[in-house]
């Protein structure tokens, strides 16, 4: 299939993990992709894998406005336009709230929230020039609930969820759709920093998730692909959980006598 044939996309944080998976899938579905990241070696490798006629790497610290302006210009100069922005870049910070340093909070909010806002700011003029476009903001399950020990990260991801809805109102009359995607645990550098086996991670951390397993980057990428395709042409302002059912509710162990598949 070529569900994104003729489309041009910028994807932040696309040197590895969900961003790289999204870049590969978009390219396979006919899009030209501009890969933005601070991990230059990895980012260039992904672009080289996809080929110069399909992909371009551009250094991007999402906190820096001039770098956003530069990557949008690079996309339009190389591929002629911009159709899609995927705000994927993010960092996390784990720890007790009473130990949270101001600089750590500013880093998380700067990358996850301000970076998303600056991406939208600089991409919208190019999207407007097309008369339509799609912005996907990658939030998290922690933008749909609370999470112990992730106060700054949770704050940033709830905010990403909120600004997505405001953007949907602001840009809808311009033909620009805006959607937030909320991944659960994903087998990436962030979601599995110890590079443990899937079996180990699942047994320790995912027994209370209804699907009882960690997600893979490609599974998040496929949801992003759908949202960016014309198949989702009437979806805007939505929040889409791609989390194995994590946010469906509290998963309790089954009572005695229940079928095996209902046991926690």
Nearest to 165 by CA among 139, 130, 142, 126: 139
Under the banding of pLDDT at 50, 70 and 90, the label for residue 71 is very high
Known catalytic residues?
153
- Section 66-86 average pLDDT: 98
Partner residues linked to 11 by β-bridges: 35, 86
Give the pTM: 0.91
Q: Which domains does the chain have, with CATH numbers?
A: 8-262 (3.40.50.720)
Under the banding of pLDDT at 50, 70 and 90, the label for residue 259 is low
Cα Rg, the chain, nearest whole Å:
19
Give the model confidence (pLDDT) of 105-150 as tens digits: 999 999 999 999 999 999 999 999 999 999 999 999 999 999 888 9
Give the model confidence (pLDDT) of 88-107 as tens digits: 999 999 899 999 999 999 99
- Asked if 118 and 68 touch (Cβ cutoff 8 Å), the reply is yes
**pLDDT on residue 223:** 98
**pLDDT on residue 135:** 98
CA dihedral 133, 139, 141, 144 (to 10 degrees): -80
**pLDDT on residue 206:** 82
With the C-alpha atoms ordered 16, 21, 26, 28, is the resulting torsion angle positive or negative?
positive
What token pair was written down for 18?
């969900």
**Residue 8: its H or E element:** strand 8-12
State the Cα–Cα distance between residues 33 and 47, nearest whole angstrom: 8
Residues 6+ apart with CB under 8 A from 9: 26, 31, 32, 33, 34, 82, 83, 84, 85, 86, 228
Q: What is the 3-class SS of 73-133, one letter each residue?
A: HHHHHHHCCCCEEEECCCCCCCCCHHHCCHHHHHHHHHHHHHHHHHHHHHHHHHHHHHCCE
């Amino acid at each position: 299939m070529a569900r994104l044939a003729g489309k041009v996309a910028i994807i932040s944080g696309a040197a590895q993990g969900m961003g790289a998976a999204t870049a590969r899938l978009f390219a396979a579905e006919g899009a030209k992709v501009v890969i933005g990241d601070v991990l230059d070696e990895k980012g260039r490798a992904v672009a080289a894998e996809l080929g110069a006629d399909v992909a371009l790497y551009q250094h991007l610290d999402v906190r820096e406005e001039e770098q956003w302006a530069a990557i949008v210009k690079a996309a339009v100069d190389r591929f002629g336009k911009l159709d899609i922005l995927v705000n994927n870049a993010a960092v996390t910070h784990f720890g007790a709230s009473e130990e949270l340093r101001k600089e750590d909070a500013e880093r998380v909010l700067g990358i996850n929230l301000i970076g998303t806002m600056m991406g939208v700011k600089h991409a919208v003029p190019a999207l407007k020039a097309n008369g339509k476009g799609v912005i996907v903001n990658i939030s998290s399950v922690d933008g749909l609930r609370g999470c112990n020990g992730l106060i700054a990260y949770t704050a940033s991801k709830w905010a990403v969820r909120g600004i997505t809805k405001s953007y949907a109102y602001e840009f809808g009359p311009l033909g620009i759709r805006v959607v937030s995607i909320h991944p659960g645990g994903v087998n990436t550098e962030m979601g599995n920093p110890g590079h443990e086996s899937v079996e180990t991670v699942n047994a320790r951390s995912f027994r209370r998730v209804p699907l009882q397993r960690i997600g893979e980057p490609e599974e998040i990428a496929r949801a992003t692909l759908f949202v960016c395709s014309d198949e989702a042409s009437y979806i805007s302002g939505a929040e889409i959980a791609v989390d194995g059912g994590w946010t469906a509710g509290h998963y309790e162990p089954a009572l005695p006598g229940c079928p095996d598949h209902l046991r926690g």
